[in-house]
């Protein structure tokens, strides 16, 4: 059994990336894993100030919701990022949380596997490249951590538009097979 943390970064109700996250969650739970799904919607996460105090004390000095999420990241075996594509990259709120997780580098983090669930209006093969590059860049900062898989579902714009899309079944199976 693995401890899995899914971070859904869209701020929209019924977002397509959140629905992918929930499908992955169901697959992972059905496979017997311990799964937590955290939505950044309604979370107070401020921008990193670049003070590097976190490198000395093991957590961010800014008091908001990020420290609790980062603690969950620290204790998880698997981290799953679910994000819509914004201007050919990850959502801003995802990037902000990644920046705020800077303290993880010097800590005894447990995660070894990272997955990406990506949705976009555009369907072209190149659409998720910037997002994948950003996730891979974050993964590359950690020893013994691997970007295991990416699921990209394009052609979905409006909330809940992904319903009925084969991407939901793919997300479920991906969760089952971690």
Number of domains within the chain: 1
Q: Rounded to whole angstroms, how far apart are CA atoms 40 and 45?
A: 8
pLDDT tens-digit series, residues 18-45: 999 999 999 999 999 999 999 999 999 9
Enumerate the H helices of 42-176 as residue ranges.
53-57, 66-75, 92-100, 129-139, 166-176
pLDDT at 56: 92
Question: Tell me, what CATH number does 87's domain have?
Answer: 3.40.50.360
Count helices and strands in the chain by DSSP H and E runs: 6, 5
Q: Which residues of the chain have pLDDT under 50?
A: none
Cα of 89 vs its chain's centroid, Å? 13
Which residue segment(s) compose the domain that 38 sits in? 3-176
pLDDT at 13: 87
CB 156 within 8 A of CB 119: yes
Enumerate the H helices of 4-149 as residue ranges.
16-30, 53-57, 66-75, 92-100, 129-139
Integer angstrom CA distances of residue 132 from 26, 119, 147, 151, 158: 23, 12, 9, 10, 22
pLDDT at 120: 98
List Cβ neighbours of 128 (8 Å cut-off, separation of 6 or more).
85, 118, 120, 150, 152, 154
Of 56, 145, 143, 54, give the one whose Cα is nearest residue 100. Answer: 54
């Amino acid at each position: 059994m693995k401890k899995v943390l899914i971070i859904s970064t869209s701020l929209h109700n019924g977002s397509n990336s959140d629905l992918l996250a929930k499908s992955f969650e169901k697959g992972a739970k059905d496979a017997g894993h311990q799964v937590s799904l955290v939505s950044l919607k309604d979370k107070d996460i401020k921008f990193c100030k670049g003070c590097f105090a976190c490198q000395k004390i093991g957590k961010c000095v800014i008091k908001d919701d990020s420290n609790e999420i980062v603690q969950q990241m620290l204790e998880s075996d698997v981290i799953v990022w679910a994000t819509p594509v914004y201007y050919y990259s990850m959502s801003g709120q995802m990037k902000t949380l990644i920046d705020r997780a800077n303290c993880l580098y010097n800590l005894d983090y447990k995660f070894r596997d990272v997955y990406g669930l990506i949705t976009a209006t555009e369907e072209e093969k190149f659409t998720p490249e910037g997002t994948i590059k950003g996730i891979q860049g974050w993964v590359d900062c950690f020893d013994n951590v691997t970007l295991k898989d990416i699921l990209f579902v394009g052609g979905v714009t409006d909330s809940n538009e992904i319903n009925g899309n084969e991407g939901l079944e793919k997300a479920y199976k991906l969760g089952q097979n971690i």
